Amino acid sequence: MKKLLAIMLSMFMVLGLAVGCNSDEGSPSGPSGNDTPGTPDAPPVPVLEEVAEGELDGDLVVWSFTNEVEVMTVAFQDAQPNVNVTYVMTPDTDDQFKNNLLNAVFAGNVPDVVSLESAFVREFVENGTLMNLSDLRGLSNEIGAYDFMVDIGTSPDGAIRAFTYQVTPGGLFYRRGIASDVWGNDSPEFVQGKVASEDAFLAAARELKAHAANIYMVASVNEFFNPTYNLRAQPWITDNKLVIDPKVESLFELAKTFRDEDLEARAGQWSGEWFSSFNSDFFDTAGNEMRIFSYFLPTWGLPYVIMPAAENTVGDWGLVDGPFPYSWGGTWIGAMNDAPNAKNAVEFVKFAALSLDNLRNWATGVYTNDYLKAINPDIADISQGPGDVVNSKILVAELEEFFDTAATADFLGGQNSYTAFGAIAGNTQLKNLQASDGTIQDAFGNAVNAFINGERDRDEALEAFRSEIRNILPDLDWS
Partner 1 sequence: MKGKIRLGTKVDRWGFVFVAPFLIGIAIFTLYPIINMVIMSFQNATNRSFTQELRFIGLDNYQAVFNNETFMGSIGTTWKIWFMNFVPQIGIALLLSVWFTSLRLRLKFIGIFRTIFYLPNLLMPATVAGLYTMLIGNQGPINKLLYNLGISQWLASSGIVSENRVQVVAGIDGAPDAISIMFASIPEFMTGMVAYIQWWLWFGSTIIIVMAGMTSISVSLYESAYVDGAGGGTIFFKITLPLLRPVMLYILVTSLVGGMQIIDIPYIFGTAGGIGRPGGTLNEFATMNVVMIREYFRGPSTRNLGLAAAAGMVIFAVTLIATIILLFIMRIGKDKEPKKLKAKKGGV
- Choose the binding region for partner 1 from 21-29, 300-308, 317-325, 351-359 (rule: CB under 8 A): 21-29
Task: Find the shortest distance in angstroms from Cβ 441 to partner 1.
Answer: 8
Count the Cβ atoms, other than its own, within 10 Å of residue 15.
10
Name the minimum Å distance from CB 112 to partner 1. 19
**What type of residue sits at position 400?**
E
User: Which of residues 162 and 435 has its CB atom nearest to partner 1 in the complex?
Assistant: 435
Closest to partner 1 by CB, 326 or 418:
326
Query: Binding of partner 1 at residue 111 (CB under 8 A)?
Result: no
Mark the segment that binds partner 1 (CB under 8 A) among 53-61, 140-148, 171-179, 447-455. 447-455
CA distance 261 to 205: 10
Residues in 449-468 at the binding interface with partner 1, rule: CB under 8 A: 449-450, 452-456, 464, 467-468
* 267, 191 Cβ separation under 8 angstroms: no
Task: In angstroms, give the least distance from the CB of 444 to partner 1.
Answer: 9
Q: Does 31 bind partner 1 (CB under 8 A)?
A: yes
A 10 A CB-CB count for 343 gives: 18
C-alpha span between 357 and 362 (Å, rounded): 9
- E-assigned strands of 65-137? 83-89, 113-117
Which residues from 191-250 bind partner 1, rule CB under 8 A? 212-214, 220-222, 225
Q: Is 25 in the site for partner 1 (CB under 8 A)?
A: yes
Least distance in Å: CB of 178 to partner 1? 12
CA 410, 412, 413 angle in degrees (round to 5)?
A: 70
Instruction: Give residues 288-307 in contact with partner 1 (rule: CB under 8 A).
Output: 288, 290
Q: Does 476 bind partner 1 (CB under 8 A)?
A: no
* Per CB under 8 A, 37 contacts partner 1: yes
**Residue closer to partner 1, measured from CB, 123 or 347:** 123
- Residue 55, phi then psi, degrees to nearest 5: -75, -35
Single out the residue of 45, 61, 105, 363 in contact with partner 1 (rule: CB under 8 A).
105
Q: How far apart are CA 428 and CA 411, in angstroms?
A: 24
CB of 387 to partner 1, least distance (A): 26
Tell me whether residue 120 or residue 403 sits nearer to partner 1 (CB atom): 120
188 with 320: CB under 8 angstroms? yes
- CB proximity list for 194: less than 8 A, separation 6 or greater: 183, 200, 204, 207
Q: Least Å distance between CB 107 and partner 1?
A: 13
Instruction: Using alpha carbons, select from 137, 131, 168 the residue that is nearest to residue 150.
Output: 137
Distance in Å, CB of 479 to partner 1, minimum? 16
Task: Check residue 8 for interaction with partner 1 (CB under 8 A).
Answer: no
Query: Pick from 1, 36, 107, 381: which binds partner 1 (CB under 8 A)?
Result: 36
Going through 8-112 in order, the beta strands assigned E by DSSP cover 58-64, 83-89
Burial category of 366 from C-beta neighbours within 10 Å (exposed 0-12, middle 13-18, buried 19 and up):
middle
Closest CB 405 distance from partner 1, rounded Å: 35
Query: Following DSSP, what letter does each residue of 348-380 receive, concatenated?
Result: HHHHHHH-HHHHHHHHHT---HHHHHHH-TT--
93 scored as a contact of partner 1 (CB under 8 A): no
Q: In degrees rounded to 5, what are phi and psi of residue 336? A: -80, 145
CB of 60 closer than 8 Å to CB of 345:
yes
Q: Say how far apart CA 221 and CA 444 lie, in whole Å.
A: 13
| Interface map 42-71 toward partner 1 (x if CB under 8 A) | ------------------------------
Per CB under 8 A, 103 contacts partner 1:
no
Least Å distance, CB 336 to partner 1, is 13
- Which residues, 6 or more positions from 430, have their beta carbon under 8 angstroms from its beta carbon? 148, 151, 152, 230, 327
Q: Would you count residue 180 as binding partner 1 (CB under 8 A)?
A: no
If one asks whether residue 479 binds partner 1 (CB under 8 A), the answer comes out as no
Between 188 and 445, whose beta carbon lies closer to partner 1? 445
Residues 118-137 that bind partner 1 (CB under 8 A): 119-120, 122-123, 127-129
Contacts with partner 1 by CB under 8 A: the residue count is 89
Q: Is 397 in the site for partner 1 (CB under 8 A)?
A: no
Distance between CA atoms of residues 417 and 318, nearest Å: 9
Residues between 261 and 290 with contacts to partner 1, criterion CB under 8 A: 262, 264, 266-273, 282-288, 290
Distance CA 322, CA 65 (A): 31
> CB of 152: closest distance to partner 1 in angstroms?
15
* 427-446: contacts with partner 1 (CB under 8 A): 435-436, 438-440, 442, 445-446
